[in-house]
Amino acid sequence: MTIYTGPVFEMARRQFNLTADHLEIPEDERARLLYPKRAVTVSVPIHMDDGRTEVFQGYRVQHHLTLGPTKGGTRFSANLEVGEVAALAIWMSWKCALAGLPYGGAKGGVACDPPRLSRRELEAVSRRYMQEMIPFVSPQTDVMAPDMGTDEQVMAWFMDTYSMHEGHSVNEIVTGKPVALGGTEGRREATGRGVAHLVGRACSLLEIKPQDCTAVIQGFGNVGSVTTYTLARQYGVKIVGISDHTAAIHDASGLPLEAIEAHMRRHGVLAGFTSQMGIDPHQLLLQPCDILAPCAVERVIDETNAGRLRCRILAEGANGPTTPAADEILAQRQDEVFVIPDILCNSGGVIVSYFEWVQDLQRLFWSETEVNEKLYQLLDQAFTRVVGYAGSNGVSMRNAAMAIGVQKVRAGKTLRGLFP
């Protein structure tokens, strides 16, 4: 029996078991590696603007503490449940290990719908969530960061709530904070910047020129928008399709990014940009393009569409966008579709979060150029390792990335003994 259920947890479990089969990990060692060390569930009662009291459910899952504190984002999303949070925490573990960071994985969040909350209500949810988490987090045990539905402002409220409790400023309790509060230069852009950098690496490997490429990006929040603008402006990629929750737009001759940027600044969502370029969101993923970057939610590439993707590079900016059934289909299409798996592709975010934590602990801050140089160095190392492992073991890019991550955590647990 386990409290971790649901399709997203099943995905994480299936991916892990495939990797464990490949690594020949004995059955009796698997549960210890897969199941989280602990999960905290809290009630978050809030006085709403209309005078009612509403109680939201909050979660934090800490996967393992073998290699250092746990690390991972905080998601505010309407249907969040503990199985999904656990899966995201487990993926964080493999991701941090693959990147060589001294962390275990964690993830958390609140089942709430941020667009439906006023700013005062959002602040109240953020503060009460952190208040409830104070006994379970610290700069040496678990360090939160942004994820879907949260941003620098939410991190600032988390930091303030924790700091008031401690009686002094504890900048290093969260990452992804505003720079003015001890955040690092380059964290806001890091995930999308990393996605674009790895797409550049994939293009070199496949001997294609980014300036001859087209791209479709799903999700236009932090990760999707930075990926879009970086691919277009630094790599010369032509963006032919983008989407968010409210709209999907496509134009094979290229989208007008300046106008889209201005529209997003004014309205915050794509809806209302233009009806002429509108496309069914499911169809958007199937449009011909060189680079397809899902940067929104889990399980958007499954057995129904994996065989029909018409991209050359699948760059997984989101966590868990591809189901194991789709992976099987993509494994048959390895010569057509080059996959940059999520735990590699979006690792730029946690890498720069690590830099932020290190800078906070040292009280010594780096320039954005320094941050980016170090970011690209770690991404390049991880990319080279995954490509090498996939080639020499005849496995997919996902299995290679997972194998490297799982193996590192396993080695740490073995060296420390049975109970860490």
- Stretch 289-328: interaction string toward ligand AKG, x if CB under 6 A: ------------------------------x---------
Q: Tell me if 341 contacts ligand NDP by CB under 6 A.
A: no
CA angle centred on 177, ends 173 and 181, rounded to 5°: 85
Among all chains, which residue has been given the structure tokens 């277009």?
232
Strand-pair partners of 248? 243
> Residue 246: which of ligand AKG, ligand NDP, none does it interact with, CB under 5 to 8 A by kind?
ligand NDP
Q: Tell me if 246 contacts ligand NDP by CB under 6 A.
A: yes
Which residues, 6+ apart, have CB-to-CB distance to 381 below 8 Å? 100
Q: Tell me if 123 contacts ligand NDP by CB under 6 A.
A: no
Whether residue 125 contacts residue 112, with contact meaning beta carbons closer than 8 Å, is answered with yes
Q: Which residue among 147, 172, 356, 360 contacts ligand NDP (CB under 6 A)? A: 147
Q: Nearest approach, Cβ of 128 to ligand NDP (angstroms)?
A: 20
Dist. CA 116–CA 110, nearest whole Å = 14
> Residue 126: which of ligand AKG, ligand NDP, none does it interact with, CB under 5 to 8 A by kind?
none
Q: Tell me if 63 contacts ligand AKG by CB under 6 A.
A: no
Dist. CA 212–CA 214, nearest whole Å = 7
Dist. CA 284–CA 159, nearest whole Å = 39
> Residue 296: which of ligand AKG, ligand NDP, none does it interact with, CB under 5 to 8 A by kind?
ligand NDP
408 in catalytic set: no
DSSP code at position 296: S
Q: Tell me if 150 contacts ligand AKG by CB under 6 A.
A: no
Whether residue 190 contacts residue 375, with contact meaning beta carbons closer than 8 Å, is answered with yes
User: Strand 313-315 relative to strand 338-340: parallel, antiparallel, unpaired?
Assistant: parallel
Which residues, 6+ apart, have CB-to-CB distance to 369 below 8 Å? none
Dist. CA 106–CA 77, nearest whole Å = 17
> Residue 72: which of ligand NDP, ligand AKG, none does it interact with, CB under 5 to 8 A by kind?
ligand AKG
Q: Tell me if 245 contacts ligand NDP by CB under 6 A.
A: yes
Dist. CA 143–CA 195, nearest whole Å = 23
Dist. CA 155–CA 183, nearest whole Å = 10
User: In the complex with ligand NDP, which residue's Cβ is closer, 182 or 410?
Assistant: 182
Q: Tell me if 372 contacts ligand AKG by CB under 6 A.
A: no
Q: Which residue among 13, 60, 64, 71 contacts ligand AKG (CB under 6 A)? A: 71
User: In the complex with ligand AKG, which residue's Cβ is closer, 92 or 284?
Assistant: 92
Dist. CA 123–CA 121, nearest whole Å = 5
Q: Tell me if 353 contacts ligand AKG by CB under 6 A.
A: yes
Query: Is 37 one of the annotated binding-site residues?
Result: no
Dist. CA 203–CA 195, nearest whole Å = 12
Q: Which residue among 123, 132, 147, 160 contacts ligand AKG (CB under 6 A)? A: 147
Which residues sit at the interface with ligand AKG, rule CB under 6 A? 71-73, 92, 95, 145, 147, 175-176, 319, 346, 349-350, 353
Binding-site residue numbers are: 71, 95, 191, 222, 353
Binding-site residue numbers for NAD(+) are: 191, 222
